[in-house]
Structure 1
Amino acid sequence: MMAELPSLPALAGTLAMPGFTAPKLRWVAKHEPGIFKRVAKVLLPKDYVRLMLTGEYVSDMSDASGTLWLDVQQRAWSDELLALTGLTQAHMPRLVEGSAPGGFLKPNVAQTLGLPAGIVVAGGAGDNAASAVGMGAVDAGQGFLSLGTSGVLFVVTPSYQPNAASATHAFCHALPQRWHQMSVMLSAASCLQWVTELLGADSAGDVATQAAALTLAERAASPLFLPYLSGERTPHNDAKVRGSFHELSFDTDARRLGYAVIEGVSFGLKDGLAALHAAGSSVQRLSLVGGGARSAFWAQQLASALNTEVLTHGSSAVGGALGAARLAWLATGAAPEAVCLSPEVEARYFPDSTEQALLAERYARFRSLYTPPSVTVL
């Protein structure tokens, strides 16, 4: 796709990657042409739910950014990008800002749900933009770190600032005239869940607790882990790379394997922050959201690894849901400054110099382990 349209990264704010919607539809057009010919409208999952609720074909700017069809700077569908998949704007839903009305509840649906007819349905947002709204990250320089199934570093920017060469994404935020930069690692807390099941442990929390009990010397002697269980986006953009343990020994036990996995994810996020810095972003503190935010040990390690203050909030694990609720409130006419407040801080974590010394040496070895895919020139 990028060979056919070299301006794609500048328009879409990202490199073309397999996980986006456009490459998937292009695959369908090639391998299942009969199905592709029947395509009338393309909706993202939440927007299909909206169609059922309101009867309207509508999407929002932040979610649309991840389709690879949006001119992100202009906040409008791009004819050039759509043409790469043989589609036109007639196939696309109407676009609204995430904080704007995106339809109204149909009378029959309202009756089924026991709600008044005509309730506004907000434009809404993609999961990361919604989490940012939930954490109050709506102004330039504010950001968060999501430690969920995937790992995301999200920083609000004052304008559209693409830097696709670093495999970061520059997308629309959920509020008008705001954009963000984002680095994405495909497997984060899901790596910890994987090793938890592999070890037969009771819970991921138990694995993290056992890892936290290791001495600095035991951590230094632990294996290294590349967290690429489903490929990687930032910074490698390598869909085929896979995860691996390195430097295993007879001293390697369940505690050290658990530690290696947690640390490997932290190092992957450190790679992502370096990519954001290369793209022009800077942050002084990050709110930690997602299931991984429940681990104080992991939060402290991230503060040391990323060399930044990390905050957790009572609502950290449900930031996306809170953000969606806030967007609904904004869609009724509420003022952003009254709605998009930062939640109360539960705990603060600062870089620890002793831990940083350990991590710096291990990160250098971690960085040396990834081998870029070879390129065959015909």
Structure 2
Amino acid sequence: MALHIGIDLGTSGIKAVLLEDLARVVAVAAEPVAISRPHVGWSEQDPDLWVATVFTCLDRLAAEAPQEMAAVRGIGLSGQMLAALILDADMRPLRPAMLWNDQRALAECAELLASVPDIGRRTNGTPDPGITAPKLMWLRKHEPALMDRARMLMLTKDYVRLALTGEVATEPSDAGGTQLLDVAAGRWDPALCAAVGWNAASLPPVLDSWAEAGRLKPELLSRWGITGPVAVAAGAGDNMGSTLGAGGARPGDAVLTIGTSGVACIVDAAFHPGPQRAILTSAHVVPRMFLSMGVVMSATASLDWVGQMTGRKVPDLDAEAAAFVAKQGPAVAPIFLPCLTGIRTPLNRPDMTGRIEGLHPGVTPAMLAYATMEGVAFQFADCIAAQREVGVRPERFTVVGGGTRSTLWLRLIATALGEPVGLIQGADMAGPRGAARLAAVAAGAPISVLSEPMSQTSVVAPDARLAEVIAPRREAAREMLNG
């Protein structure tokens, strides 16, 4: 019996899962994490809150399953990507972390692209305000005294691992999101660091994602009743961790995450950058593989917004939208571009805002919910089309994330793609499961563990009749997008 913990650090919440033999879920602990929005377009979090929340989750696992917790031999972390967390010489945060959906560094993106015109083919993609490098430029411009004290750039899960082990490290999947890493080579690029104004010496060492990046501190072994030792893996960016946890390890495996944001992740045996279509391409957490990522900036977050506007809970909106489709059909619903925090793939328009067409007095919350799900499905289809354009070849589709609770949403996505999409058992566990696989290898399991497939429990096929109805609506959405 092998026991490992996978921890997934999401934008709005953190989940820790204790797994036996990487299959049986022994215990789960989850806690929300607050986001600060001090100005329109800004998005920040207190990094010490990440640590405190992880510790709270592990406290709960130890209380719920003390016998199994005692036998844990590995911990893995996957975490929200693209954050800018600046530490001082004592490895303490100098300010809140700027998150992936922070939009303030628009001007710096243009400056960086002008300075390094080929950056999209050397790094993970074209400059975007959500990516780390433009944020560093913004900080240098607007908070210079703070940047003079900066001694380390840290990413979300790496800061938590620092608290667990006392060791500073990162790995290629997450580091690729900084735009300071030569993605094909897997090494920090001194020229890119110079272009951003960051000291290359103030970057953590880059280890393999499955490597042991430290061991759990003795005082934490005691706190959680673990006999030890416990290897803590270098870990993964959240998209790579979820892709791995959903069985995405072979070329052609495509994993769509319907979460706060939406991501279309396609495993690729070659580096196929697509900066012209705002595609992100980073190292995967499986040896010699890359991950092509098309990004929908606002997925379940858009449906949450509709819930806030209408005073409805999201599960109720889903049920009402399904009833609306069955009774009236989608044709009378408004058309919604749910780009509430901009569009990344395929247009790279972080300044774009949501648009609704077809409002009339008869529009109901159910219709708005349907239009939101449809709009997100169209955006996923746009991502996949753009990825195909640059040479990436998706063959098998799996869907994970909170949005998988909606049968209607899955049917819309399958129909918009024109491809069947599969579900796996415990789709909401994909991130922690992927992190736990990395933990197992760090603790001594064979690396072949990373490539073990996941069985699909069900498949949602495209709906031919729905396809006929939404085809003209998709064309109308394209016209709105380009208008």
TM-score normalized with structure 1 length:
0.94
- Secondary structure at the residue paired with 1:177? coil
State the 1:159 CA deviation: 1.3
| More displaced 10-residue stretch of structure 1: 326-335 or 152-161 | 326-335
Cα separation, partners in 2 of 1:339 and 1:160, compared to 1, 3 Å = closer
Preserved CA contact (<8 Å) 2:306 2:369: yes
Partner of 1:317: 428
- Secondary structure at the residue paired with 2:196? coil
Q: Distance in 2 between matches of 1:371 and 1:350?
A: 30
Matched, 1:236 2:347: yes
Partner of 1:211: 321
Q: Distance in 1 between matches of 2:146 and 2:228?
A: 36
State the 1:339 CA deviation: 4.8
State the 1:234 CA deviation: 0.7
- Secondary structure at the residue paired with 2:345? coil
What letter is aligned with 1:103?
G
Matched, 1:103 2:214: yes
Which of 122, 146, 149 aligns to 1:11? It is: 122
Q: Distance in 1 between matches of 2:405 and 2:213?
A: 34
Preserved CA contact (<8 Å) 2:441 2:449: no
Matched, 1:115 2:226: yes
Partner of 1:297: 408
TM-score normalized with structure 2 length:
0.74
Partner of 2:292: 181
Unaligned runs of 5+ in 2: 1-111
Partner of 1:375: none
Preserved CA contact (<8 Å) 2:248 2:255: yes
| More displaced 10-residue stretch of structure 1: 278-287 or 315-324 | 278-287
- Secondary structure at the residue paired with 1:96? coil
What letter is aligned with 1:93?
P
Preserved CA contact (<8 Å) 1:97 1:175: no
- Secondary structure at the residue paired with 1:230? coil
Partner of 2:277: 166
| More displaced 10-residue stretch of structure 1: 151-160 or 242-251 | 242-251
State the 1:338 CA deviation: 3.7
Partner of 2:62: none
- Identity, % of aligned pairs? 35
1:276-287 alignment, distance < 5 Å? 276-287=387-398
What letter is aligned with 2:481?
Y
- Secondary structure at the residue paired with 1:13? coil
Q: Distance in 2 between matches of 1:249 and 1:235?
A: 30
State the 1:284 CA deviation: 3.0
State the 1:117 CA deviation: 4.9
Preserved CA contact (<8 Å) 1:106 1:118: no
Q: Distance in 2 between matches of 1:242 and 1:83?
A: 33
| More displaced 10-residue stretch of structure 1: 157-166 or 100-109 | 100-109
State the 1:219 CA deviation: 0.7
- What does the per-residue CA deviation read over 1:51-94, in whole Å, with 9 as the maximum and x for residues that have no partner? 12222110011010111111000001011111122223210001
Matched, 1:347 2:347: no
Q: Distance in 2 between matches of 1:184 and 1:307?
A: 19
Preserved CA contact (<8 Å) 2:286 2:451: no
State the 1:122 CA deviation: 0.2
State the 1:215 CA deviation: 4.0
Partner of 1:376: none
What letter is aligned with 1:207?
L
- Secondary structure at the residue paired with 1:312? strand
Q: Which protein has the bigger strand share? A: 2
Q: How many residues align?
A: 371
- What does the per-residue CA deviation read over 1:311-363, in whole Å, with 9 as the maximum and x for residues that have no partner? 11121112101111111012123234345433332221111211111111110
- Secondary structure at the residue paired with 1:95? coil
Partner of 2:378: 267
Preserved CA contact (<8 Å) 1:170 1:179: yes
RMSD in angstroms over aligned alpha carbons? 1.5
Q: Distance in 2 between matches of 1:296 and 1:60?
A: 36
Preserved CA contact (<8 Å) 2:414 2:460: yes
Preserved CA contact (<8 Å) 1:151 1:185: yes
